[in-house]
Amino acid sequence: MKKISDDLAKKEKKLSGDVGKSKKALGALVKKDPKMAKKATKDANKKHATLVAAHKKVQGELKKAADATKNYKTKVLTPAQKKYEALKKSASNAKKQLPKDEVKKPKGKTAFSIMNKIVLKEKKPLFNEVTVSYKSTTKEFGAFIANLGHEATFWKALIKEVKADKKKKALVKGANMFLSTTTAFSKACAAQAKLVKGGKAKSGKKAFKNAVDTYKLGAMKSTVAIAKAMKSYETKANVKIIKGYVKAYKKIEKKQVKLNQKHKGGSNTLVLVLGLFGMVAGGAAIWYFMCRNKKEE
């Protein structure tokens, strides 16, 4: 746009000069030869009129170019700039609203060391307690699904840490079992949350209860697999602790299997299952690793 304006300005300047020269030449001719003045005046006036017309045309084009530049700035550049500033401000506000207690792995700790602490010292479960029911709110489901996601992140971290170790890679099988169990239950929670949002929570009641039972049983089987793998490389003193840990979970696993069978038969024993599960899942479990805030670090 600037190049067009510059070209038109040059053209306008040249035409203005030509108009001036034409007037000067006409005056000199009249003084020198009055007889030819009439014809010369006519020719000069014609040429002058042509130059004036051309001059006006160029001036018109210059005005159009200036108007176009102004319109482009007003209708395109200015709105675009305002939109950019609004988006920038929105992004800044969104950043300020991010939770301060973001999920972060504690400094200097590994998934392996934390798993050892949970099993060998705290003797707590390696999985999340189910805190939602088929009629929980979408917000409650969202929070619990996030928990399951952090749990999956923990097991992925453990697999990465031990897969190259000849002895400790035995843990990979149990970790993968946990991943499968957690992923499946996360999908079930998402499906039920969708039904809740659509006001159809009751239609998914049976399927969700079965998903809860499957998750609990899968978590217990995975726990036993992890503990057995630990026995293959731990010290005699720790193996003794692990044996007690495995025994407790095998006992719970058997009871869970029976309760699951009753569920499939239609018996209303969910309260018993939750009561049983609460006895072993009251601890911090994976959240010891995944959900510490910055202050605790």
**Is 101 inside any structural domain?**
no
The predicted pLDDT at position 216 comes to 87
191 shares a domain with 153: yes
- What are the pLDDT digits (tens) for 120-138? 888 888 888 889 999 999 9
* pLDDT of 95: 57
Q: Is the pLDDT of residue 41 over 50?
A: yes
Question: Are residue 223 and residue 247 in the same domain, yes or no?
Answer: yes
Mean pLDDT of 235-256: 84
Q: How many CB atoms lie within 10 A of CB 34?
A: 10
Residues 130 and 188 in one domain: yes
Residue 211 structure tokens: 């998903």
Q: What is the DSSP string of 174-236?
A: HHHHHHHHHHHHHHHHHHHHHHHHTT-GGGGHHHHHHHHHHHHHHHHHHHHHHHHHHHTTS-H
Question: Do 41 and 167 reside in the same domain of the chain?
Answer: no
Q: What residue numbers bound the domain in which 89 lies?
A: 2-96
What's the total number of domains in the chain?
A: 2
pLDDT for 286: 39
Q: Which residue reads 């798993």 in tokens?
A: 115
Mean pLDDT of all residues in 31-43: 62
Q: What confidence tier does 297 reach under pLDDT thresholds 50, 70, 90? A: very low
* This prediction's pTM: 0.55
Asked if residue 111 lies in contact with residue 157, where contact means CB atoms within 8 angstroms, the answer is: yes
- Token pair, residue 221, equals 């089987």
**Amino acid, single-letter form, for residue 234:** E
Higher-pLDDT residue of 235, 281: 235
pLDDT at 272: 34
Highest mean pLDDT range out of 85-94, 178-187, 241-250, 260-269?
178-187
Same domain (yes/no): 129, 245: yes
**Residue reference for tokens 């998914």:** 204
For residue 29, is it within any domain? yes
- Quickly state the pLDDT bin for 40 (edges 50, 70, 90): low
Asked if the model's pLDDT at residue 278 lies above 70, the reply is no
Q: What is the dihedral of CA 144, 146, 148, 151, to 10 degrees?
A: -130
